[in-house]
Each structure stands twice: as structure tokens, then as C-alpha cells.
Amino acid sequence: MEAINPVRSKDYILVGAFTLVLYAVMVSVGGPLTMHEGVLSQTTKAMLADGDWLVPHFGEAPWIERPPLPQWITSALCMLVGGCNHEWQARLGASLSGMLTVLLTVWLSGRLFGRGVAIVSGLILATMYNFARYSTLAEADIFLAPIVAGVISVFAYLEILRPAAEGESRNFFGTRPWAMLAFFTLLGMTNLAKGMVFGTVIALAPVGTYLLWSLQWSRIARYCWLWGWLAFFAVALPWPLLVLQRLPDAIDVWRFDLLGRLHQNYLAQPAWYYFFCLLWVPQPWTLAAFIGLGITFRKLWQPNSAAHRLIWCWAWMPLLVFSISQGKHHHYMLHYLAPWAILAAQATIWLWAHSAERMRSRWVIPASIAGGGVIVVALFGRKLPGADWIMPALLVAVPSIVLSAWYFATHRRPDVAITGGFSVLALLFGVAFAYKGAYLHRSIDDTAFLAEARAAVPSNRPLILNSADEALEGLRMLFYIQDKVHFLHNLTFIHDSRISDPEVFVVTRFNRKAHLEKYGDVQPLLKCKQSRREQSEDDRWTLFRVRLHDDFDRRNATMRITPMQAMYRVDGPNLD
């Protein structure tokens, strides 16, 4: 299959540059690390410090919730830019992963649908709210997105762009094109970014459905290939096997994550959760994506419809499969937003063509887009988590009106409309995220408190951090004050014989004051102005000065903390 109007090299450069500049601006104004960003940021920082490239660490405990490919990539980038001590350094890998996903989307849509759809698809994906958000956060989720996009792109090459030749072997031990080996290798890599099985299911759900759609055994038999599956396992299995050799109880964490999502009320959400998320996760392109569904539906059943079938399978099958599981989260959708961007691009080009022919309806479409955005915000905006509904509201109502006006004012120059429209949208992103980072960020006060606490403790006195059994907050706090902190897995570890001073400074929640009083005289020195997820002032982070009792018992604390204990999913160990 050959595209009528192929994508040019400069198109990749321009779309990549737009994405990189947009994400660089968002990273620079993004504010301090969020609670969830602490995991990748601090485990990467620890990996660079201790040189353990197999097992990331939280303090002295192992942190093996996910495979460490995101840490490896972030570590390499941090070494290139001079360290991992600033937010932008920790977020760099996520932004490059997002940009790579955008470029793969340009390649795939360009080969399947031509240059126009390719350029618009890439720009739409880059500016989808949730995709842009996670491409500018130091979180591991976005690292899986380019791998899944790579799997689908190679699969499209094998099935649509370079279909099997007459004489190609179907033998289980036979030869296959080199692209088939790349397919299985990338499929194995899905187990290194997010977790075992998770990414593989996301990639295989559309692939398997597409193959079954044709009901041709000869096509399915291509993937029944010994050397391909050996390549898959050669990539997917070494890390978990090596970890199990060192930490046999690591299996408890993986079992908890996998089975917990299925039926143990872990991140439980209703069956319709992802359908609701479709209304806001792709904003401000939700309406265009649904229009794209409408204009491509009939094409699914026509001859030579393979490209549309593949995009539909990618858009819907991961959503439907993961709707079966109890555990759901909107960021799981990152890995199949690319097909929704392609559908939205097809709709955008279709609307352009039809409006140019029927100029008497010139105000119907912009009014519909703006009205649809207002309806979505009014009906669903306030149900979104915390204050996050403000961003989707801005990114629906304002850009839809601006882009529509620009679109109709320049209807004879699509290149001008695309350049100007996406430039305006990028500006709105920068302004909105700068405002959120400066005024709406929920970790502003916590981060400012950490800087004040660090400055308040004399340089010759130990600063001790206890995260009050909150692993994610503990990792984030360690990122900011690790240079002079002794981390306590729990408050009983204050018995650690390595803490020899009679007077120590402890950062923990104010509600832990009574526990600290068991060990000595306690004086609060500094309390956070406001802490994330606080229920009352007792939940605020506080700096205490603790003068330990004269007969205070010091013990050997170099004991093993299990992977489940490291995440505070089970209690212990306890030095009391």
C-alpha cells in the first residue's frame, strides 16, 4: 500500500519541533513534583547514587512495583544533562517518550491515510489534554505509549503495507521477514515499561481482534513462530527472573497489582468508567474524535478497509478489555489515544472540505464545537478529580471558539489555519499550565515547607524524614531533601544505632506527635501551611525537635524490608 501524498522529512521535523517546544514550555512552568512523580524521580536518583540497575530503591527498601525501563531511560538522560536534582531533569524522559509517540503516529497515519491526516494526527495527539499532561510529568506511564505505538506500526507494516508474499513460510520453525522479529521484540518490551502482562494485553487486544476479523488462518499462522516468541520471552523475562532470584517475595507485589486490578477492589471503578473518560481525556478534540467515528464507520465494511479496521481495533479493544477489570485509571488510556487522534484528524479534514463547499453553514460548525465543549464541561466537568476540571474546561471552551474562528477566516489556506490554530492552542496550553503550576498545584505548600525545614535544621544536626506510611509522599519528599536526610521506614526506626545524636529533627505528620513522645521530649518547630489531602491541621507536615530520653535504646536496624512492606501494603518491620 502506497500513500497518495507521502509524509515528507520536513513534516516530521516540524511536528517534532512543535511537540518538543510545547512540552518544554509546559515542563518549565509545571511547578514542583506531584505525589506520583516522586516514584520515578526519586528511584532514578537513588539508582544513579547506588548503581543498582536491577532493583530501584526507596530508602534502603526495594521498589519493584514496575520494571525499571523508565528509570534506565531517565538515568541516561540525567547523566547527559548533568544530574537528576531538578524537576525538569526528571521529566525529560517523559517528554521525549510523548514526542516519539507523536512521530510514530505521524508515520503510521501518513502511510495509511496520507500526508494531511498524518500532520494533523500528530498535532492533535500532542495537544490532547491527558497526553500532553502525562508527557510533561515524571511518571512512568507515558514510557509505554511509544512501545505500543511501535508494536501497532510494525504490525500495520506487516499486514497492510507489506502483506505476506505467496511463498512466505507459515512453518512454526520457518523464516519470517525481519519486521516480524521487530514486532515480537517490541511486544516483549511492553513488559519492561509498565508491568508484566499489562502492556502486552494493550498491544495484543487490537492485534488479535484485527486478525480474527478476517478469519484467515494463513494470516494468524504468521505469528505462530517459535523464533518470534523466543525473542518476546528473551526481552520480557530476564528482569523479573533476576529480581525473583534476589527477592523471592517480589511475586507478592506483582500478584497484588495484577490480581488486585482484576477483582480485588484495587483502583475499583464502574464498568462504564472509560466511556465517561472518553468525554474529557482527549480534550479539546473529543467532539472531532466522535465525528471521526461516524465518518469512518461505513468504511469498515468496504473492500480495502484494512487501515480503518486497524485504527478502530486500536481505539476500542484496549478500552473494552480493560473495562472488564475492576481496577481502572484514566492514565491507562494514554497508550491508545493515538488512534483517537487519527480519527479526530480525519474528521477535521472532512469538516474543512465540506465547509469550504457549503459556506452558508459557516457558523454552524464553530457554534456546534463551542456548544459541545460547554455542554461537556457543564455536565461532567465538576465530577473530575480535584481542581483538574478547570484545565479541561479551558481547553474545550476557549480553543474550540478560537480555532473555529481561525479556521473559517482562513478557509482557503489550510496551511495557515493549521499553523495559526495550533500556535494559539499551544499558547493557551502554556498560559493555562503556568497558572496551574503557580496557583493551583496541590504540592506547592508541601514543597515550600520542605525547603524551609531543610534550612531550619543546623547543618551539623541530623534531619530525619518519616512519611507517615505514605510511600508516594515519602519518595517525593526524599527527592527534595535527600542530601542531608535519614529516612525512617516507620517511626520505630528512630532506634537505629546509626542515629547517635541525643537530639534529632524529625519531619512527619503532626498527628504522629504522640508516637514521637514515647522516645523523648518533643517540640514542634515548623508546620506546613497546607498539605495535600489533609483532613484537618493534624495531617500537616511538621518539623519536630526531639530530645531523646537518656536511656533511649539504640538497636541494629540493618534488617530486610520486603517489597510489600516498602510500599506499606503490609505492616513491619518494627523495632519497638
What percent of the chain is predicted at pLDDT more than 90?
A: 62
Among 102-106, 262-266, 304-308, where is mean pLDDT lowest?
A: 262-266
Q: Domain boundaries in the chain?
A: 9-31+64-262+294-362, 364-441, 444-566
Query: Could you please report the per-residue DSSP string of 48-98?
Result: HHH--SSS-EETTEE--SS-SHHHHHHHHHHHHHT-S-SHHHHHHHHHHHH
pLDDT in tens, 196-249: 889 999 999 999 999 998 777 888 989 999 999 999 999 999 999 999 999 999
d(CA 347, CA 152): 22
d(CA 450, CA 483): 12
* 3 state SS of 36: coil
Query: Which of 196-227 are b and which e, b meaning 16 or more Cβ less than 10 Å from the residue's Cβ?
Result: bebbbebbbbbbbbbbebeeeeebeebbebee
Decide if pLDDT at 259 tops 90.
no
- Which residues are CB-neighbours of 140 under 8 A, at least 6 positions away? 39, 40, 66, 70, 193, 194
Decide if pLDDT at 105 tops 90.
yes
- Which residues are CB-neighbours of 519 under 8 A, at least 6 positions away? 491, 494, 546, 548, 549, 552
- SS in 3 state form for 338-407? HHHHHHHHHHHHHHHHHHHHCHHHCCHHHHHHHHHHHHHHHHHHHHCCCCCCHHHHHHHHHHHHHHHHHH
Decide if pLDDT at 58 tops 90.
yes
Radius of gyration of the chain (CA): 26
Confidence class for position 411, pLDDT limits 50, 70, 90: low
Q: Are strands 541-548 and 520-527 parallel, antiparallel or unpaired?
A: antiparallel
Decide if pLDDT at 185 tops 90.
yes
Q: pTM for the whole thing?
A: 0.91
- Note if the bond before 392 is cis, omega within 30 degrees: no
Mean pLDDT confidence for 458-476: 91
DSSP letter at 30 equals S
Mean pLDDT confidence for 424-450: 87
Residue 269, pLDDT score: 87
Residue 120, pLDDT score: 94
Mean pLDDT confidence for 533-550: 94
Residue 175, pLDDT score: 87
pLDDT in tens, 498-531: 988 999 999 999 999 999 999 999 999 999 999 9
HSE-CB at 544 with a 13 A cutoff on CA atoms is: 26
Grid cell locating 360: 452558508
* 3 state SS of 545: strand
Decide if pLDDT at 372 tops 60.
no
Grid cell locating 568: 506499606
pLDDT, averaged across the chain: 87
